[in-house]
Structure 1
Amino acid sequence: MSSMVIPFFLCILFLSHLASMAISQETISSTLKTYIVHVHRAPGAAVFASSDEREEWYKSFLPTGIASSGEPPRMIYSYKNVISGFAARLTERELAEMKKKAGFAHAYLDRILPLQTTHSPEFLGLSRGTPGFWNDSNYGKGVIIGVLDSGISPNHPSFGDEGMPPPPSRWKGACEFDASYCNNKLIGARNFVRGASAMDAAPRRVTLQGPYDYDGHGTHTASTAAGNFVENANVNGLANGTASGVAPLAHLAIYKICDLDGCVYSDVLAGMDAAVDDGVDVISISLAASSFPFYFDSIAIGALGAIQKGIFVSGAAGNSGPDSASLSNEAPWILTVGASSIDRLLRTTVTLGSGVELDGESAYQPSSFRSSQLPLVYPGASGNRSVALCFNRSLDGIDVRGKIVLCFEGVVDVESKGETVRSAGGLGMIIANLRQEGVSTFPEVNALPASHVNFPDGQTIKRYIKSASTPTASITFKGTLMKTKPAPALAYFSSRGPSQADRNILKPDIVGPGMNILAAWPFEVGHSDTATRYNIKSGTSVATPHLSGIAALLKSSHPDWSPAAIKSAIMTTADLTANDGNRITDETGTTADFFGVGAGHVNVSRANNPGFVYDINPDDYIAYLCGLSYTDLQVSVVARRSVKCSDIGSIAGKDLNYPSFMVFLNASNGYTVEVTRTVTNVGAPSSTYDVDSTSISDKVKVEVRPTRLSFTKANEILRYNVTFSSSSSSNGGEVNYQGYLRWISSDGGVTVRSPMMVSVK
């Protein structure tokens, strides 16, 4: 799993002036860096007559004379939809001069951010050819999903167009492959890695050869969102079934914004800008970076521009869990997606010489491997960490020949660990989790027979080896097990709240399938006799396209719903329990809190009939930004226009019409806070809902007024208030209490549930 779970640590560098000195042309060239520059026209200025006119205005900010100097073009991208500005190569001195020009708003360095299903649709309750949400939503027909990632493998069978209608007339995109590669499924593919090629850091493995996927990440995410039906998809003969994306009849538009070394913000913005222009309905972005204020967050800025055009945006929560406050893509206009498990295991069993049996997983289960007891060794018992983790060549000189070797997770990928064991003569391998990975297990395509076991079982094996005079073990392969329990469970790597950008918004929003997901891959995977072009991957980047596909289904079923309405439907109908009837657990096996699962695990069928929704006018997001105590200039950067907060007013985070509640009670507010929510009827025209539960804690009182909502017509808007109060402080630090507000329709057919987190200090 170590190759899938990548920490994301990025920083924004503040700009400084160069020392006043004569600088040669060579020195100027060597100090050129890429900046993303935000500019604004004066209020009341005429609308640009063309894109060329806009670009000429952008160029007016660049240093004079460079166009005729013979230098390569300084302008890298000219944006028009998702930010008001451009990306350009500048020296710090040139930037300092640019700041003096009328219309300049903000600039920051371009930075790098790294990249972060045969059964998962069925696990979500989507079944082919039977009554249900797939039929109700027409499998996503007519909806366009824009996938911003590492490109695509266009000739993969998952992107065939059998049964696909032509793209909608609003589609304006392009295919930068040979025309034969694009079809009614893959309707467009474009390449945006100019920003990466302009980076002056360490040499990068930039791939400029069109939108082809040389990494695999983009192909996997695209097929997860909207891959067509392909029978007999498997990895090494395991997890076999009919592969499909969540929205198999939706169209795919691909925007390659990442190369083999990751992605840069200027390319991300260019891809988002093009997706808006091309006419997509959903943007899926499986990227994650550290938390920044929204005016420094290019993805948040670009996503708001897309939302204002009616485009739904889903983004990965990040793979920095289980650490607290590790979230990415926290803006309230983005659906922030965490990762959870599914009910399929590729089962292996380790039997120790003592007779103890410990279950694990592997995606390589050769029938030729003997299951008899073999010598078992833990080279890491010496205390050498490199040996414990089975680094490359770390086992040289250690006698592992003919033995099963215990290796611990971390740092290097499991395939590399297997190669190390195999090259040293080992016959098998047990991969054991580190403490933070808990009870999660991952079926890797290993280089030799192996079993991946959880942390407690890894410690059991370690103790057995230490205590036994001649420790032995066997590995038995049991194939694919379905409907295993409990599922879903929160993935250990899924980033956790609270949000650092604004603690008043409860994040993440939702979790979806993101562990051990089989989907399309550009290259053959597995051993030569069983290799296929499918692979099993994990991450919030895998969960995100599941939710993008669900958003496409909802958009097809309810074309008039806004992005906020779709998000509300997803959140208020989510599941809090697993298939064993108990609450969803985390990597420790204990109940996951709302900072891990948000509203819960997505329930696709219920989302199609949410009863009522919490809609948000996009202009309210601007007032919300004012409520964050940002300056007018900072708000203007995100809004892409000049904003005076004194003119438009502000909305506090707790008062944004969000489908969840995050409230702080303390001495300054007298331990009482009242919030208001507005709901829109999207269910039966005449319908009534009663408050069924405000369960949270005996330390916190929750009062709802009114306790009944009675709608008399479709799209009617009603309002209710919630008062949170506590009789006293927590007698110490901040204590969080969680529960949910639940409304139930009078006929009992619809439940609308919102998570509540109350912090008392």
Structure 2
Amino acid sequence: MSHTKMLRVIITSTILLLSLLLARPPPADSTGSQFGRGGSGSSSDDDVYIVYMGAANPTNLAMKEAVLGSLLQSGGRQEMDILNTYSHGLSGFAARLSAKEVESIAAQPGVVSVFPDSNLQLHTTRSWDFLQDLSGSNAVPPLPASSRPDSSNVVIGIFDSGIWPEAQSFRHEGTNLSVPRGWKGTCVTAADFNETACHGTKIVGARYYISDSPRDNDGHGSHVASTAAGAAVEKASFYDGLAAGTARGGSPPAKIAVYKVCDEDDCRSRILLHAFDDAIADGVQVISMSLGSRHLKEFLEDPQAIGAFHAVEHGITVVCSAGNSGPRPSTMSNDAPWIVTVAASTVDRDFRSDILLGGGKVVKGEWIGLPDLSRSPIYPLIDGRSAKAGNVSFRAARGCKPGSLDKKKTRGKLVICDIKDEGNDGKYINQVVEVAVKGGLGVIIANNESKRVAQYLWDVPITKVGSREAAQLMAYLKTNRKPLATILQTVVMGNYTPAPEVAFFSSRGPSSKAADIIKPDVTAPGVDILAASSLGEESPNKPKGRPKSSFNIASGTSMSCPHVSGVAANIKAANPAFSHPH
């Protein structure tokens, strides 16, 4: 690392630290709506900027008002279009600003940085038993329940897509329902989220900054919250008994405070900072954040780093996902030294959805699905190139890119889609849609090395294979005039090895901002994790004619992060003064 870059990192951290050393208790009143929703109702965020002014002390708060006043005077405005304002743990605001106003504000006394509002991304049972198994038979046995630290006074703040409060994982059984000491938060109600959501459940607080309710409609936030602090649910499983067992969080007695900062793919930086500001004032002990962006170049323009810094200075442990952009180096987000950054690893369980070829040969496949196909190999098998549309390249057809397949050649067949040149993002949406709309019976994703099972069910049967299995399929196509196959039902395989190992998709370090920041800090189970889901309209797809499952199996560092958040809550219960050090 160059001396110049190292000096820049030191100066950045020093500025942040000095701003906190001058901090004073926040004022009693809160700027911004009690609902955690700022804004004028305008739909465009193209010209929104975040003005960061350090700690929330009286001096900085006064400077903030002075900056806003000077803008009104110099710009000839009747009023400012303020979207968010920060006054508890940090000082600043988010507003629609012209380029000239940005330049003027950046030169004002007390302004640390001004940067554009950016869009962040969510980093989409058996795991806890597996972690215990790793201790080995000669390890110290776990403490009996009566001797474990009581985490019922610990509140974990979940920054995510909301929560489905009716889920079994959030019921009160086994949970002390008393309000934790020092809790000052609130439960904001909405048309579909009444006061009962925070009474008789593990949920003690709820705020929303996006959409019109704290309710989780896509399942991500509920999955994360139940992994961190869900109550034990016996006989939990996905469809048809997949991953059956007792689902429980890492710290079942702990309480949950919900901060809905995301809705589908909309996770704004300014909103994230508002949630940090509220969570600090509310009195959470742990923040769990399974989202981020790796395209932020400086800590002083990184909302996760800024918000987490102020939270840590208030004694809050901040746990974040590393991201799903691996395996290349320096691909992680949430790389500030004061954040606990979590990678994803496998567990000793695998979901097999094999391919049975004509002649009886079985090729190993991996997927979680409920294919409505015969168990006999009666379906024609082709690769994408054999179904190529006339006006596209063979390479595009091989990968089943949108518009690359001919409908007549695809209809009624199982199609092999080779994604060797397409990356390993674990989604496969384009391939599945292309085959489905062209009438294909099923999709085989080939040359996928990512140990990441699907997070969605599709009406069209799917499985995926690695390079070795892909070669077997291609050899079968070449040596058979009428190749036939079928995709078998998913089965759960135990004692999967090697496990644990870092997942292929898990983002790697070191930090792209400073190469001497070696992260992630820890890895935790993040592949094929069973946890609570949402029954909302946007929640994961379901098979035809079947109700939505109250549990879902998902993979990503989004799933590994709350494992560590639950552990952090237990540590906080045993040692309330604990805080992740700088």
Cα drift, residue 408 of structure 1: 3.6
CA distance in 1, matches of 2:341, 2:173: 32
2:102 pairs with 1:95: yes
Cα drift, residue 261 of structure 1: 2.9
Secondary structure of 1:321 counterpart? coil
Instruction: Name which of 159, 173, 189 aligns with 1:162.
Output: 173
Secondary structure of 2:569 counterpart? helix
2:81 pairs with 1:74: yes
- Structure richer in strand, relative to its length: 1
Instruction: Name which of 488, 492, 499 aligns with 2:500.
Output: 488
Cα drift, residue 376 of structure 1: 1.3
Name the TM-score, length of structure 2 as normaliser: 0.79
In the alignment, which residue of structure 1 is the partner of 2:53? 39
CA contact (8 A) 1:362 1:445 kept: no
Q: Deviations over 1:484-532 (max 9, x none)?
A: 2221122111111222222222211111111111222213653233641
Alpha-carbon spacing, 1:530–1:304, altered in 2? closer, same or farther (3 Å): same
Secondary structure of 1:258 counterpart? coil
Greater CA drift, 304-313 or 229-238: 229-238
Cα drift, residue 32 of structure 1: 8.2
Specify the code of the residue in structure 1 equivalent to 2:103. A
Secondary structure of 1:125 counterpart? helix
Alpha-carbon spacing, 1:243–1:88, altered in 2? closer, same or farther (3 Å): same
In the alignment, which residue of structure 2 is the partner of 1:227? 230
Which stretches in structure 2 are left out of the alignment for 5+ residues?
Answer: 1-42, 135-139
Greater CA drift, 148-157 or 418-427: 418-427
Q: Deviations over 1:284-307 (max 9, x none)?
A: 111121252222212111111111
Larger RCO of the pair (alpha carbons < 8 Å, separation 6+): 2
Larger radius of gyration: 1
Q: Which runs of 4+ in 1 moved over 6 A?
A: 29-32, 65-68
Q: Deviations over 1:175-221 (max 9, x none)?
A: 1122111134011110123xxxxxxxxxxxxx2x1222233221221
CA contact (8 A) 2:117 2:270 kept: yes
2:444 pairs with 1:430: yes
CA contact (8 A) 1:316 1:540 kept: yes
2:120 pairs with 1:113: yes
CA contact (8 A) 1:82 1:303 kept: no
In the alignment, which residue of structure 1 is the partner of 2:71? 62
Q: Deviations over 1:669-723 (max 9, x none)?
A: xxxxxxxxxxxxxxxxxxxxxxxxxxxxxxxxxxxxxxxxxxxxxxxxxxxxxxx
CA contact (8 A) 2:89 2:281 kept: no
Instruction: Name which of 294, 306, 310 aligns with 1:305.
Output: 310
CA contact (8 A) 1:365 1:479 kept: no
Matches within 5 A, 1:221-260: 221-237=224-240, 238-260=242-264
Q: Deviations over 1:143-193 (max 9, x none)?
A: 110011121222222222222212312111111122111134011110123
CA contact (8 A) 2:163 2:258 kept: yes
Matches within 5 A, 1:722-737: none
In the alignment, which residue of structure 1 is the partner of 2:364? 359
Cα drift, residue 361 of structure 1: 2.3
CA distance in 2, matches of 1:438, 1:117: 14
Q: Deviations over 1:627-665 (max 9, x none)?
A: xxxxxxxxxxxxxxxxxxxxxxxxxxxxxxxxxxxxxxx
Q: Deviations over 1:356-398 (max 9, x none)?
A: 4322223223587323353211123555344334355644434
CA contact (8 A) 1:391 1:412 kept: no
Secondary structure of 2:231 counterpart? coil
CA contact (8 A) 1:160 1:228 kept: yes
CA contact (8 A) 1:81 1:305 kept: no
Specify the code of the residue in structure 2 equivalent to 1:432. A
Alpha-carbon spacing, 1:118–1:440, altered in 2? closer, same or farther (3 Å): closer
> What is the total number of aligned residue pairs between the two structures?
512
2:448 pairs with 1:447: no
CA contact (8 A) 2:526 2:558 kept: yes
Name the TM-score, length of structure 1 as normaliser: 0.62
2:479 pairs with 1:462: no
CA distance in 1, matches of 2:341, 2:453: 24
CA distance in 1, matches of 2:221, 2:358: 44
Matches within 5 A, 1:162-311: 162-165=173-176, 166-177=178-189, 178-183=194-199, 184-193=201-210, 207=211, 209-237=212-240, 238-290=242-294, 291-311=296-316
Specify the code of the residue in structure 2 equivalent to 1:406. I
Instruction: Name which of 383, 389, 409 aligns with 1:399.
Output: 409
CA distance in 2, matches of 1:319, 1:401: 34
Cα drift, residue 426 of structure 1: 3.4
CA contact (8 A) 1:117 1:244 kept: no
Instruction: Name which of 499, 513, 524 aligns with 2:511.
Output: 499
Cα drift, residue 427 of structure 1: 3.4
